[in-house]
Amino acid sequence: MDNNYTLIYGGLVFTMNENRDVIDDGAILMKDNLIEKVGKKGEVEGYIKNLNIEHKKMDYKDSVIIPGLVCNHTHLFQILFRGLGENLTVSDWVTDMIFPLSTFMGEEEAYLAGLLAQMELIRTGSTCFADSHYIHVDKKSIDGLAKSVEETGMRGMLVRATQNIKFSPLVPDVFMEDYDTVERETVRCIETYHNKLNGRLKMAPEAINLMDCDEKMLRLIYELSETYGTGFHMHTAESVDEVAVVRATTGLRPIEYLNKMGLLGPETLLAHCVWITPKEQKMLADTGTKVAHNPVSNLMLGDGIAPIPELLELGVDVGIGVDGAASNNSQDMFEAMKFCLLQHRANWIDASIIKPEDVLEMATIQSAKTLRMEDEIGSLEEGKKADITICGTNQIQMTPNVKPISNLVMSANGFNVDTVIIDGKIVLENKEFTKINKNEIIEQANKKIDEMIKKAGLEELITSGRFNYI
């Protein structure tokens, strides 16, 4: 008899399979870290009986069961900076807050930030993330992040980002990297961590954006991504300032320039894409380039609203990210889904331009596609990884439970999540973590950011604003 089977049953299962089947009184049979069977409860129980399978049972009869949410863009380290620099434009936000504090981002700090950020991602229903990490004052900081992934049990893609151009004279020299260092460290990270932890941990390289990397660096990083088959990431057309700089230096808009260089394609994931023209949108569609949409961050930093309905109409694969907690300020994908739906409806003055079903697709199977992981995650199908998020329906935000898809996207928040399963292992059960110590991480995080603020001499960030703190 096998003892590694678990039956999850009784809930409304949103499979996100090709037919987008939603199964009432559904059930999922897991074997180890994979989904063995999905269907009606009676059907799955019959399958178990016929094979005489010994199994554990998890009853979720008053629940909605969805694929684990896939956050396709964030910055884990920024969670220690949550709430700081909240009124700055993106350029000032980077030079006046991110870089000064990040001078003190070492391996220990990154490890702690990774734990805290993943704790919030898990608690709010995410099972997989892609993390853009561009702080390498301590080259081992990304190793701290890798250690945190091992301990939380999350599925993560650590993206080693780099820069070798100062977009502003205020950018400290310590954040610049030369070609040899980038090649050596990128290769080290990929060879050390890619596809490790039973496949939970992946690595990829990134050029932060066209203001931060010259052509030689762009080609170096892209070629490394091709050599190792990891995919290529980049921030693109996030702000009007970035577009203006790129046009002034290249004579082309960002997407046009990347297309000319041959850097667009199915292996490329571009974050933001806020300020892109219809011509550039078509370039993304024609090349199969993928997009990470960060609705909350774009609004918070005053960047603008990305043309997501247009991209979806063209057939571009668009997923949702939360971006860093210093520009969101949460890591809650439910919140990002709602912002996504509302901002495009308001922008278009059309309540039907984006629907709840569209947004849930973007946060699950579409995000998985943007990370080139759709064969593993993003839907609840036989043979895929057992990454599952379960929300109870007997909660205030989920009541009345007459149309769960609307409640999930427009009413719920991540703290309505009851249980999270990643790679077949329960990491959150009945709203409690099973692998990490929440209180200990919170205490250490508060202590660490206090130390970093004092070292940077940025105490004014705490009391900035027009209120009188006494």
Q: What domains, with CATH codes, occur in the chain?
A: 5-67+384-433 (2.30.40.10), 69-370 (3.20.20.140)
How does strand 63-67 pair with strand 388-392? antiparallel
> What does the angle CA 15 – CA 18 – CA 19 come to, to the nearest 5 degrees?
75
Per-residue pLDDT of the chain (470 residues; tens, 9 = 90+): 346 999 999 889 999 999 999 999 999 999 999 999 999 999 999 999 999 999 999 999 999 999 999 999 999 999 999 999 888 888 888 999 999 999 999 999 999 999 999 999 999 999 999 999 999 999 999 999 999 999 999 999 999 999 999 988 999 999 999 999 999 999 999 999 999 999 999 999 999 999 999 999 999 999 999 999 999 999 999 999 999 999 999 999 999 999 999 999 999 999 999 999 999 999 999 999 999 999 999 999 999 999 999 999 999 999 999 999 999 999 999 999 999 999 999 999 999 999 999 999 999 999 999 999 999 999 999 999 999 999 999 999 999 999 999 999 999 999 999 999 999 999 999 999 999 999 999 999 999 999 999 999 999 999 888 899 88
Amino acid letter at 467? F
Q: Could you tell me what percentage of the chain is helix, strand and coil, using 3-state DSSP and rounding each to the nearest 5?
A: 45, 20, 35
Neighbouring-strand partners of residue 35: 30
How does strand 232-236 pair with strand 126-133? unpaired
Neighbouring-strand partners of residue 428: 420, 433
The whole-number pLDDT of residue 1 equals: 36
Q: How deeply is 467 buried, as exposed, middle or buried, from its count of CB atoms within 10 A (0-12, 13-18, 19+)? A: exposed
Give the separation between CA 300 and CA 53, rounded to whole angstroms. 51
**CB-side neighbour CA atoms (13 Å) of 124:** 23
The whole-number pLDDT of residue 3 equals: 62
E strand map for 15-172: 22-23, 26-31, 34-40, 55-59, 63-67, 69-74, 126-133, 155-162
Which residue is associated with the tokens 């935000």?
Answer: 397
Coil/strand/helix, residue 102: helix
The whole-number pLDDT of residue 379 equals: 98
